[in-house]
Chains A and B, each alone.
Chain A
Amino acid sequence: MTVEDETLMAYVDGELDAAENARVEAALRDDPALRRRAETMQSLRGTLAGHFNPVLSEPVPDHLEALVRKASPDRAPAGTDGGASWLARLLQDWHAPHTIAVASAVAAGILIGTQLTAPGSPGGPFAFENGRMTAGSRLASALDRPGAQNAPSLAVQVSFRHQDGRYCRTFTASGTAGIACRTGGDWQIDLAAPAAGEAGTEVRTAGTALPLTVLDSVDTWMSGDALSAAEEEAAAAHGWQPQ
C-alpha cells in the first residue's frame, strides 16, 4: 500500500475523511519510513506554530485599535468599552494559542497513537482516547513526582502554573517532547512535538532536548515564574490540583 506525499500532507493537516484517514493510519503502522515522514511534517507545523503563536499574546499597538474605533460609526464611549474589549482581548489571547496547541497535539496524538498500536511497541508513553491524549502510566508516575526526573528515555524538566490555573510540566519521552497539564485526575498532553536531536535514543539533561515549540508555549502559557522545588513539593502533596 502506498501513500502519496500529498495524501500524507493532507493527513497531517487534518484534511482527510474518515476512510482515507484509516487507510493512511494503517499504512503508518506498517511503514516506519512513512511514520518518520509524517513526523517531520508534523514537526514543521509545531515549529511554525511555536514561532508565530506568541504574537497572539503580544499587546496590540494602540494605534491599530484606535484606527478601527475611529472609523466605526457606532463608536462606544472610550472608557467603559475600552475596558471590556481589553478583557475580551486578554481572554482571546489566552485561549487562541492554547486551542491551536491542543489541535496540533491532537494531530500529533494521532501519530503517536498509531505508534502505540504498532506491532512490537505495547505500552508507549501516551494514552489516546476520545480525542484526548494523556500520559501513559510510566510517564504519569514520573510527572507525579516533584523535582526534575531523569529516567532512561523519560525526563521531566520544569513545572509551572498555566494561566488557566492548572499545573503543567514539560517532559521528554521516547523522542517526543511536550507539556503535560494536570486536568482532573489525568496528566493531559496539551502539546507534543518531536524532541530536538535524535529521536529518544539518549538521555539528555533538562532543557537541551526541549524544542522551541515547547519553550515558546511555556512562555506563552505560564503565569508567574517556574515553580521552585518547595512549590513543586507542595503541589505534588495536593495531587497537582489547583488550590
Chain B
Amino acid sequence: MENEIISYLPRLRRFARSLTRDAADADDLVQMTLERALARLDQWRDGTRLDSWMYRIMKNAWIDEVRFRQRRDTRFAPEEAGAAVGREDPEFDKRIRAMSVEQAMETLPEDQRLAVALVLVEGLSYKEAAAVMDVPMGTLTSRLARGRAALEAILNPQREASS
C-alpha cells in the first residue's frame, strides 16, 4: 500500500501542477492530499482504484483551498512565482512560452479546469473523470468541451480565427 501510494506521487504532482499556479502551491496541495488520504485509508474500499480515490481527495482538497482563498481574498503572492521565473537562464524563452499554458489554465473556472486536467493531462477516461468529480458523464463532457474551447482560443488564436 505504502509503495503503491508512493508510486502515484509523480502523477499526483502533475495533477496538482495543472490545477495550481506554481510548483510550491502544487506540492502543498499534494501534501494536503496525502495527509487526508492517509488519515482516511480505512475509508478506501478494496476494488475501487486507489489512484482514482486519491485524485478525488485532491480534487476536494483543491476546491476547499480555492474557497478558503476566495474568502481570505489575499496575497497568494504572484510576485514570488515571478521571481523564480525571471532568472537568466538558457531555458528562459521556453519558460516564457510555457508560462502561457499555466496562464491559460488559470483563466478557466475550477470545474472546467478539473475536467481538462483529469482527461487531457492525466489521461483518465470520461467515466473515470466523472467519478472523480462526482458528476454525471454529460456534465463532465460539457465542462470538458467548454474548457477545451476556451484553451484553444487562448493558446491557438490564429487557428481559431482561420477555421
A-side residues, CB < 8 A to B, are 5-6, 9-10, 13, 15, 33, 36-37, 40-41, 43-45, 47-49, 51-53, 55-58, 60-61, 63-65, 67-69, 71-72, 74-76, 85, 88-89, 92-93, 96, 100, 103, 212, 215
Given known contacts A64-B31, A71-B38, A212-B94, A47 and B145 CB-to-CB distance under 8 angstroms:
no
Q: A64 and B27 in contact (CB under 8 A), knowing A37-B163, A92-B7?
A: yes
Q: List 20 A-B contacts (CB under 8 A).
A: A5-B145, A6-B142, A40-B159, A44-B151, A47-B101, A48-B18, A53-B14, A55-B13, A56-B13, A60-B10, A63-B31, A64-B13, A67-B38, A68-B5, A68-B38, A69-B2, A69-B6, A74-B2, A75-B2, A92-B7
B53 adjacent to chain A (CB < 8 Å): no
Q: Are B11 and A40 within 8 A (Cβ)?
A: no
Q: Are A64 and B30 in contact, CB atoms less than 8 angstroms apart? A: yes
Interface residues on B, range: 35 or more
Chain A, Cβ-Cβ closest to B5: A68
Least Cβ–Cβ distance between A125 and chain B, in angstroms? 21
Say whether B10 contacts A48, CB under 8 Å. Answer: no
Q: Write the chain B residue with the least CB distance to A67.
A: B34
* Cβ–Cβ contact B13 & A44, under 8 A: no
**Which residues of chain A are near B163, meaning CB under 8 Å?**
33, 36-37, 40
- Contact residues of B: prevailing secondary structure: helix
Chain B residues with CB under 8 A of A61: 27
**Neighbouring B residues of A68 by C-beta, 8 Å:** 2, 5-6, 9, 34, 38
Query: Which of chain B's residues 28-56 have a Cβ closer than 8 Å to chain A?
Result: 30-31, 34-35, 38
CB contacts (< 8 Å) of B18 on chain A: these are: 48, 52
* Selected contact of B17 from candidates A9, A55, A72, A92, CB within 8 Å: A55
B13 partner, pick from A47, A60, A85, A88, beta carbons under 8 A = A60
Task: List the count of A-B residue pairs having beta carbons below 8 Å apart.
Answer: 117
- Chain B residues with CB under 8 Å of A75's CB are 2
Is B98 a contact of A55 with CB atoms below 8 Å?
no
The 10 closest A-B pairs by CB, nearest first: A72-B2, A55-B14, A71-B38, A51-B101, A56-B10, A60-B9, A48-B120, A52-B121, A55-B17, A68-B5
B156 x A48 contact (CB < 8 A): no
CA distance A10 to B3 in the complex (A): 34
Q: List A contacts of B152 (CB < 8 A).
A: 40-41, 44
Q: Is the CB of A58 within 8 A of B101?
A: no
A85-B14 contact in complex given A6-B145, A48-B120, C-beta closer than 8 Å? no
Q: Which residues of B contact A67 (CB under 8 A)?
A: 31, 34-35, 38
Task: Say yes or no: A48 contacts B31, CB within 8 Å.
Answer: no
Distance (whole angstroms) from the CB of B118 to the closest CB of chain A? 11
Q: Is B123 interfacial (CB 8 A cutoff)?
A: yes
- Write the nearest CB–CB distance from B124 to chain A, whole angstroms: 10
Within the complex, which residue of A37, A44, A57 is in contact with B120, where a contact is CB–CB below 8 Å? A44
Interface 0/1 of B101-139, CB less than 8 Å to A: 110000000000000100111010110000000000000
Cα separation A44 to B152 with both chains bound (whole Å): 7
Q: Are B35 and A92 in contact (CB under 8 A)?
A: no
Contacts of B125 in A (CB 8 A): 15
Most chain A CB within 10 A, of B141, B148, B152, is at: B148
Is B155 an interface position by the 8 A CB rule?
yes
Q: Contact partner of B6 among A6, A55, A89, A103, CB < 8 A?
A: A89
Chain A, residue nearest B162 (CB): A36
16 additional contacts (CB under 8 A) given A48-B101, A55-B14, A68-B2: A6-B145, A40-B156, A41-B148, A44-B120, A52-B121, A56-B10, A58-B10, A64-B13, A64-B31, A64-B34, A67-B31, A72-B38, A85-B3, A89-B9, A89-B10, A92-B10
